[in-house]
């Protein structure tokens, strides 16, 4: 999961750089086509069959639509309005929402220390978003809206995946969801392919990284972590992405992060860490 943190941080950097060449949906489609081809080749090389039942096809389609299409559409397009570091800081809210959903769906008790950690985290998010109400009527508002939408999609997706981990291997879940994604995105991406003259070496390198690194390898690592560690612990690693993304955004994209936003990001991470720590202590008890 530590390696996946760096992959995700670089993902935002690469996407930010190539959005001027291709729209978000086209990038998502290219990413998953390449990831699907890579995983399918591994499957064929192992001489293994591709297991799935017809009744599960709609389920994999829903998983892909919510957890991949809507998640990446929201987060990638949020980058059009906000710096990379801010988008990743907001996505760090994922573990907090996970704790709340565990209470609602799985009836897990939430104690005051956990609630306090959540409140601290939300306060940090408010600092990141800024206290200026004029932001609500500006273009930046849509960036925050899209980023928060990706948080919801990630949590719903995790719950859906956990419902099928007992019937499919990590590899097969990854292959099936990625296949569904490639099919879903094709009609929307086919009409928005980049012009051949616009494709440069950096664009090709970015797509290969997104497809093989984040798409294939990252997907396998993420699904396996959900299987072994559960939703909250898995999502906790997303809290480290803002720190890495801040550094790379500053180094590679020359982005500026305001001191108030840095403080807000630190508070968000501290609040999430506290909420998750108290939640884990509760589970151990």
Q: Is 195 helix (H, G, I), strand (E, B) or coil?
A: coil
pLDDT in tens, 126-182: 676 554 545 445 557 778 888 888 889 988 888 888 888 888 888 888 888 888 888
**N-term to C-term CA, the chain:** 26
181 compared with 271, residue with greater pLDDT: 181
In a domain, 193, yes or no: no
Nearest to 206 by CA among 78, 9, 46, 17: 17
pLDDT in tens, 106-123: 677 767 776 777 777 767
Backbone angles phi, psi at 110, to 5 degrees: -110, 120
In a domain, 41, yes or no: yes
Per the CB < 8 A criterion, the answer to whether 30 and 207 are in contact is yes
In a domain, 92, yes or no: yes
Please tell me what DSSP assigns to residue 238: G
What gap in Å lies between CA 162 and CA 141, rounded to an integer? 33
Nearest to 218 by CA among 161, 248, 168, 174: 174
Q: How far is CA 220 from CA 22, 58, 245, in A?
A: 26, 21, 22
Q: Which two tokens stand for residue 139?
A: 């273009």
Backbone angles phi, psi at 204, to 5 degrees: -65, -45
pLDDT in tens, 41-50: 888 888 777 7
Backbone angles phi, psi at 199, to 5 degrees: -80, 120
Q: What is the mean pLDDT of residues 2-13?
A: 69
In a domain, 73, yes or no: yes
In a domain, 22, yes or no: yes
Q: How far is CA 56 from CA 29, 52, 62, 223, 274, in A?
A: 22, 7, 10, 17, 38
What gap in Å lies between CA 70 and CA 51, rounded to an integer? 26
Q: Which two tokens stand for residue 284?
A: 């151990």
In a domain, 176, yes or no: yes
What gap in Å lies between CA 22 and CA 68, rounded to an integer? 18
Is pLDDT at 209 greater than 60 in this prediction? yes
In a domain, 69, yes or no: yes
In a domain, 85, yes or no: yes
Whole domain around residue 40: which residue ranges?
2-188+198-284
Q: How many independent structural domains does the chain possess?
A: 1
Query: pTM here?
Result: 0.71
């Amino acid at each position: 999961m530590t390696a996946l943190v760096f992959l995700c941080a670089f993902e935002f950097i690469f996407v930010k750089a190539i959005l001027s060449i291709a729209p978000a949906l086209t990038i998502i489609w290219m990413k998953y086509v390449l990831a699907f081809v890579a995983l399918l080749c591994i499957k064929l090389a192992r001489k293994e069959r591709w297991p799935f039942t017809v009744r599960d096809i709609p389920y994999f389609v829903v998983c892909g639509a919510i957890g991949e299409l809507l998640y990446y559409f929201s987060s990638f397009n949020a980058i059009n309005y906000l710096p990379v570091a801010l988008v990743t800081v907001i996505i760090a809210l994922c573990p907090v929402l996970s704790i709340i959903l565990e209470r609602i769906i799985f009836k897990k008790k939430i104690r005051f220390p956990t609630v306090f950690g959540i409140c601290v985290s939300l306060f940090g998010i408010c600092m990141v978003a800024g206290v200026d109400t004029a932001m609500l009527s500006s273009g930046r508002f849509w960036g925050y809206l899209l980023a928060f939408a990706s948080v919801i999609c990630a949590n719903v997706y995790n719950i859906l995946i956990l419902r099928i981990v007992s019937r499919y291997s990590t590899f097969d879940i990854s292959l099936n969801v990625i296949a569904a994604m490639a099919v879903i995105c094709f009609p929307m991406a086919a009409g928005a392919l980049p012009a051949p003259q616009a494709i440069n070496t950096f664009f090709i390198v970015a797509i290969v990284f997104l497809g093989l690194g984040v798409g294939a390898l990252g997907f396998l690592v993420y699904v396996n972590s959900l299987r072994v560690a559960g939703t909250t612990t898995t999502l906790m690693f997303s809290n480290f992405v803002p720190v890495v993304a801040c550094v790379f955004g500053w180094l590679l994209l020359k982005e500026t992060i305001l001191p108030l936003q840095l403080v807000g990001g630190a508070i968000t991470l501290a609040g999430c860490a506290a909420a998750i720590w108290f939640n884990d202590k509760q589970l151990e008890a």
